[in-house]
Amino acid sequence: MPARTLPLIPRLRDILQLRFTTIFAGLPPAALADISPANPAKRLARVLGYAGLRLVGNIIKPIKNRDDLHGKVWLYVVSANNYDALEFIQKSRPDAVLVAGQGKNIGRYNAAVNRLSLRSKLLYYWQFPISFFGLLKTDGGRAWRFFDFIFYAIGYYEVYRRALRHYRPRAVIFSNDHNDDTRSLLLACRAEGVPTAYVQHASVSANFPPLGFDLSLLEGQDALDKYRLCGPVQGRVELVGMPKADAYLNQKNTAPTVRRVGIACNIHDPMPALVDTLVYLLRELPHLTFTLRPHPSDGRDFEPLRKLLPALQWSSARQENVFDFLLRQDALVAADTSTHLEATLLNVASIYFRFGTFALTNDYYGYAARGLVERADTPAELAAALRRYALHKPADLYLRAAYYNATLGTPDEGRSQLHTANLLNNWLNQSITTS
């Protein structure tokens, strides 16, 4: 495979593609606060903290990997969800190893992944002034607004190229295509001629970068249609269903009525609106049991809410798999999250309800528009929908998900892991033959 490289500024624009989109730049300040503070002084403090704790810390922190990374198939993960999506490949291939960047937080799997050293990342920070002023010319105010993201992204590409030359993996398999470190490794693989594959781990958006892997294994037609809106689709694409759901598809919810309601939230859901909605639901529907599940990256203080609503139950996303959570629910209420799809696959009645009013993320994944889930626009409409489901929940809700999961209702339902593993094995054998 011929080397494909990009100059510094186009490379960083590719790496930071999602961060510089209109929808990301326009997120409410409260949603961005934990990611990139609006105050420039706070952004600078965040950058200095990153330099001191992460970059300098990487130099003095030893790396002791459990596996030999030389010549292996790398399963690159940036979150616990990625780990859950790729773990079955590691179990099915003796040459597959789970890999993450040094210091990357993989949640409950932190100790289970091998690490790629980022010690030499500091050597490349001379690029920051060049990168910053170059991106000011191409992206204007967004380069200033997100100069912290530019700083974080510096050096990943060069360090990962060195790691690829040192370990020479057979291939790198991804389950994320838009984080800065993931994009950097993908570009590094292209430059070093390392084959790449992508296993979708969650619903995608038309705001994502164009699909650019040698092999992409997508869950269903929805993902392919959206990636076509992102730009030209490169490489081979196969629709394989949702491998991580295999073990759960035979446990669909058969309850004829709703008694247990899960509520999923994330940092994009404003706390005041979330609290007001929960207070309303628990008051209006005392016969239902409500369980709140904050996203694992949601670091807000929920203790006041615990005290305010002692009857509210809780699920820790850092300790409980999303499917295990959904198995304990009859209905789900959430705004923009792929948990809607996972709920529908298990025949859990799912309702799209926005806790905020940010226009750019209105039905972000298109679930309500395509009829995957019901939509409620006010707390009263939400309560009415739950009352209706409390009287009767259809047994065939899961069929709505066929557009999103290519194997649903086919003989291959529940066999996506086996199908995906076979496709990857054949692709890897072909890659070795043609390399």
Whether residues 224 and 261 share a domain: the answer is no
Whether residues 389 and 330 share a domain: the answer is yes
Segment 238-272, tens digit of pLDDT: 999 999 999 999 999 999 999 999 999 988 898 99
d(CA 199, CA 221): 14
Whether residues 218 and 253 share a domain: the answer is no
116 part of a folded domain: yes
For residue 232, the one-letter residue type is P
d(CA 217, CA 320): 26
98 forms beta bridges with: 75
253 part of a folded domain: yes
Which token pair is 89?
A: 């490949």
117 part of a folded domain: yes
Whether residues 234 and 152 share a domain: the answer is yes
348 part of a folded domain: yes
Whether residues 267 and 315 share a domain: the answer is yes
1 part of a folded domain: no
Whether residues 187 and 284 share a domain: the answer is no
CA neighbor of 106 nearest in space, from 213, 186, 181, 216: 181
Whether residues 152 and 44 share a domain: the answer is yes
Q: Cβ atoms within 10 A of the Cβ of 63, count?
A: 13
Whether residues 68 and 157 share a domain: the answer is yes
Segment 332-374, tens digit of pLDDT: 999 999 999 999 999 999 999 999 766 667 888 999 999 999 9
CA angle 226/295/16 to nearest 5° reads 50
**Could you say which residues of the chain have pLDDT below 70?**
1-4, 357-360, 432-435
80 part of a folded domain: yes
- Are 200 and 225 in contact by the 8 Å Cβ rule? The answer is no
- Please write down the HEC assignment for all residues of the chain: CCCCCCCHHHHHHHHCCHHHCHHHHCCCHHHHCCCCCCCHHHHHHHHHHHHHHHHHHHHHCCCCCCCCCCCCEEEECCCHHHHHHHHHHHHHCCCEEEEEECCCCCHHHHHHCEEECCHHHHHHCCHHHHHHHHHHHHHCHHHHHCHHHHHHHCCHHHHHHHHHHHHCCCEEEECCCCCHHHHHHHHHHHHHCCCEEEECCCCCCCCCCCCCCCEEEECCHHHHHHHHHHCCCCCEEEECCCHHHHHHHHHCCCCCCCCEEEEEECCCCCHHHHHHHHHHHHHHCCCCEEEEEECCCCCCCCHHHHHHCCCCEECCCCCCCHHHHHHCCCEEEECCCCHHHHHHHCCCEEEEECCCCCHHHCCCCCCCCCCCCEEECCHHHHHHHHHHHHHCCCCCHHHHHHHCCCCCCCCCCCCHHHHHHHHHHHHHHHHHHHC
d(CA 148, CA 226): 29
Q: What is the pLDDT of residue 319?
A: 87
Which token pair is 207?
A: 């705001």
Residue-number span of the structural domain to which 295 is assigned: 247-403
Environment class of 8 (CB within 10 Å of its CB; exposed 0-12, middle 13-18, buried 19+) = middle
Q: What is the pLDDT of residue 434?
A: 60
Hey, what's the torsion of the CAs at 370, 373, 374, 377, to 10 degrees?
A: -90
135 part of a folded domain: yes
CA neighbor of 210 nearest in space, from 239, 184, 235: 235
Whether residues 320 and 264 share a domain: the answer is yes
Whether residues 73 and 216 share a domain: the answer is yes
**Domain count across the chain:** 2
CATH for 119:
3.40.50.2000
Task: Give residue for tokens 């105050």.
Answer: 39
Whether residues 321 and 399 share a domain: the answer is yes
263 forms beta bridges with: 292, 333
Q: Tell me the pTM.
A: 0.89
Q: Mean pLDDT of all residues in the chain?
A: 92
Whether residues 237 and 251 share a domain: the answer is no
3 part of a folded domain: no
Q: What is the pLDDT of residue 1?
A: 41
CA angle 43/47/53 to nearest 5° reads 140
Segment 16-44, tens digit of pLDDT: 998 998 888 777 777 787 789 889 999 99
- Are 78 and 179 in contact by the 8 Å Cβ rule? The answer is yes
d(CA 217, CA 147): 34
Main-chain phi, psi angles of 412, to 5 degrees: -90, 0
Query: Which are the contacts of 335, defined by CB distance < 8 A and separation ≥ 6?
Result: 265, 266, 268, 269, 352, 353, 354, 355, 356, 361
